[in-house]
Amino acid sequence: MIQLTVNGKPVEVETGSTILDAIRKAGFNVPTLCYHPKLVPYGSCRLCLVEVEGARTLQPSCVVPAANGMVVRTDTDRVKSARKFVLSMIFSERNHFCMYCQDTDGDCDLQQAAYDEGMTHWTITPAYKPFTVDASHPDFILDNNRCILCRRCVRACTELVGNATLGFEERGSGSLLIADNNVPLGESSCISCGNCVQFCPTGALIDRRSAYQGRETDLTHVNSVCMDCSLGCERVVKTRDNRLVRIDGNEDIGFNDSLLCYDGRYKPLTEDRDRITSPLVRRNGQLESITWDEALSVISAQFKAHDSSEINAHISPRQPIEALSAFHEFFADHFQVGEVTLLGHDQTALACAKLAAEIGAFESGISTLKDCDAAIVLGTDMVKDHQVAGFFLKRQAINDLKMFTANSTHTKISDWSSNKLEYIGTDYPAVVNLLESYVKGDAADLSTQLQNLSLNPERAQKVLGNLKENQKVVIVVGKEFARVENLPAFRKLVELAREIGAKVVTLKGQGNNFAGAVFGYEMDAQAKSAPVFFLALGDDQACDHTRDALAGSEFKIVQASYESAVTEMADIVLPCTIWAEQAGHYLNSDGKLGLNQQAIQAAEGNRSVLDVLKILASKSGLTLSETWRAAVEEKVAAIVLS
């Protein structure tokens, strides 16, 4: 530990801390611009200058290490005057006429810093030349006129996302933020995650949809978790006048370093499907509006008219745990209907639960991916399906990560590693046998195994040859590999991982797939047609299997937020709230519970899946228990290592 004094107050910080860490720990503050707690300190803006006794010049506190006995002052006249000078220089370099910027009135860190210093005007006359604005990207705009060259966007793109799209060309005050080799941003390798926009401290990167829709202080902030995949990234949903305005990564909580992918940040704001506005019933071949009471009475009558074995129930994993628990209790426990299944047919969570029941908890958390030197990725496309987990591997790849991927098609994640081996195919048992040969040092039939999998022996030796010697091996398992039929191979894989001290991370489909496995949904079967088919789709989209099962059913009940091919074929349609109009919990791949808070009010006439289940239950004389937490926590502890 290190002891020093800040503004006369003694403070103790860990070895390796910066002066800025000590200042903040002592309860003081200095303004910063290029500094961001999630990024490697860079020290370019000089706004955080402080006085250190004995030092000839003022010191940038965000990069200078704290040392024993240091005497730091943050509020001397010399420091304050330097701070104003730094700000004046920054304002003079480019067009920072704040009234014309979307981030004006305190949304911008630069402007806020000037307010904090009591600055009311510029002391250095601006002498900038205008730069062209790049508006070629569908989600955000790049305006070099507002750029202060802090490189927070560039560092976020490389250090956190691992994409390395953004960079700078030219030097000094002529430096320009560019994409790739200075191509228009919309034609670049940008993956539209928008993390650069969130990290930008000025209006240099402007969000297209939320620009000019209100200052940060005008917006209502609501904590949410993303349910697009099972990572459960923490985010903040920002609304105004009951409208979704912007979604940002939550900088205060979460494993995800405040990162989001396109699906978590922008996709929910691009929804353009038509909403269902009232309950509908099919009469004379046409769907007609009816009241909620009439619709629910028709459904209850159908339930009573059929034996429970003639009813199949199917729900989207985008629904919160509260709905999944009630749905299973209502249909499986009380009615014991023919089949209670989950949309998507992703068996990863089920396979993990089954394997853990045999061999005990074996999974490690997603954060493991942030610190590995070799990765074996089986049956998942981490660039497409669990993108933030993919960011963690991509940024490790910059540090010479060894990567072996096996998937039925080429996955772009392997393109990030120059030290890679790629198998394209689905013979996962053979892949695990190959890994076993490398772990056990069994060279007897290695060449036959490599030949069968069409793998290059030299490359395989380079990537897999010293698995035991790699200090931090992580095995990532996804939906193609983690299937019930592959359980013997999965078991062997986990045993190999234990032998070499590797961590196993599983990526469990969409939203609440893991919760579905915990509640006992039938996940190894496709949904089947039935005399009565109840589909709680919510704001999800039906897959081909679900559409076919519904089409082959006699009486079709669809609870949906949007018009679609399945609502068109339904006999009863119930208008349903979307993710932002309802609150509920989500269980992520790590087994952590996240809460999606309600962000906006639903229009009159929409009801959640849970509310409808409660009414149907009361019509049947039942009360749903609503006690799911203890059971979920107990079952998760048996599957995921704490």
Q: How far is the CB of 406 from ligand FES (least distance, A)?
A: 44
87 is a site residue for ligand FES (CB under 6 A): no
The interface region with ligand FES, picked from 44-52, 286-294, 333-341, 376-384 by CB under 6 A, is 44-52
Are 411 and 381 in contact by the 8 Å Cβ rule? The answer is yes
Q: Please tell me the distance from the alpha carbon of residue 343 to that of residue 316, in angstroms, as a whole number.
A: 5
- 482-510 CB burial, b ≥16 within 10 A, e <16: bbeebeebbbbbbebbeebebbbbbbbbb
The interface region with ligand FES, picked from 32-40, 308-316, 338-346, 518-526 by CB under 6 A, is 32-40
Q: Please tell me the distance from the alpha carbon of residue 67 to that of residue 14, in angstroms, as a whole number.
A: 10
43 is a site residue for ligand FES (CB under 6 A): yes
Nearer to ligand FES among residue 42 and residue 122 (C-beta): 42
Site track 503-542 with ligand FES (rule: CB under 6 A), x = hit? ----------------------------------------
- Picking from 255, 110, 233, the residue whose alpha carbon sits closest to that of residue 247 is 233
- Picking from 344, 351, 374, 369, the residue whose alpha carbon sits closest to that of residue 489 is 351
- Can you read off the two tokens belonging to residue 253? 């909580």
Cβ-Cβ contacts under 8 Å for 257 (sequence gap 6 or more):
38, 160, 249
Determine the residue type at 598: Q
186 is a site residue for ligand FES (CB under 6 A): no
Kindly give the interhelix angle for 487-500 and 348-359, rounded to the nearest 10 degrees.
60
Q: How far is the CB of 47 from ligand FES (least distance, A)?
A: 5
Q: How far is the CB of 76 from ligand FES (least distance, A)?
A: 17
The interface region with ligand FES, picked from 40-48, 139-147, 252-260, 449-457 by CB under 6 A, is 40-48
- Picking from 165, 101, 89, the residue whose alpha carbon sits closest to that of residue 128 is 89
Local structure of residue 156 (DSSP, 8 states): I
3-state secondary structure of 456: coil
Nearer to ligand FES among residue 43 and residue 531 (C-beta): 43
Q: How far is the CB of 48 from ligand FES (least distance, A)?
A: 3
Distances (CA, A) of 570 to 63, 100, 243, 283, 534: 62, 51, 30, 11, 10
Kindly identify the residues of this chain, within the stretch 189-208, that bind ligand FES according to CB under 6 A: none
48 is a site residue for ligand FES (CB under 6 A): yes
34 is a site residue for ligand FES (CB under 6 A): yes
Instruction: Tell which one of 6, 22, 26, 47 touches ligand FES (CB under 6 A).
Output: 47
Site track 53-72 with ligand FES (rule: CB under 6 A), x = hit? -------x-x----------
- Picking from 237, 235, 206, the residue whose alpha carbon sits closest to that of residue 220 is 237
Q: How far is the CB of 152 from ligand FES (least distance, A)?
A: 10
Nearer to ligand FES among residue 34 and residue 515 (C-beta): 34
DSSP 90-135: HHHHS---GGGSTTTTTTSHHHHHHHHTT--S-SS--------EE-
114 is a site residue for ligand FES (CB under 6 A): no
Q: Please tell me the distance from the alpha carbon of residue 278 to that of residue 301, in angstroms, as a whole number.
A: 20
Q: Please tell me the distance from the alpha carbon of residue 272 to that of residue 581, in angstroms, as a whole number.
A: 16
Nearer to ligand FES among residue 34 and residue 295 (C-beta): 34
Nearer to ligand FES among residue 172 and residue 285 (C-beta): 172
The interface region with ligand FES, picked from 27-35, 291-299, 400-408, 577-585 by CB under 6 A, is 27-35
The interface region with ligand FES, picked from 28-36, 156-164, 198-206, 242-250 by CB under 6 A, is 28-36
- Count helices and strands (H / E) in the chain: 19, 27
Instruction: Tell which one of 24, 46, 395, 607 touches ligand FES (CB under 6 A).
Output: 46
Distances (CA, A) of 265 to 184, 325, 513: 22, 27, 21
Instruction: Tell which one of 18, 32, 95, 158 touches ligand FES (CB under 6 A).
Output: 32
Nearer to ligand FES among residue 34 and residue 493 (C-beta): 34
564 is a site residue for ligand FES (CB under 6 A): no
151 is a site residue for ligand FES (CB under 6 A): no
Are 378 and 428 in contact by the 8 Å Cβ rule? The answer is yes
Interface residues with ligand FES (CB under 6 A) are 32-35, 43-48, 60, 62
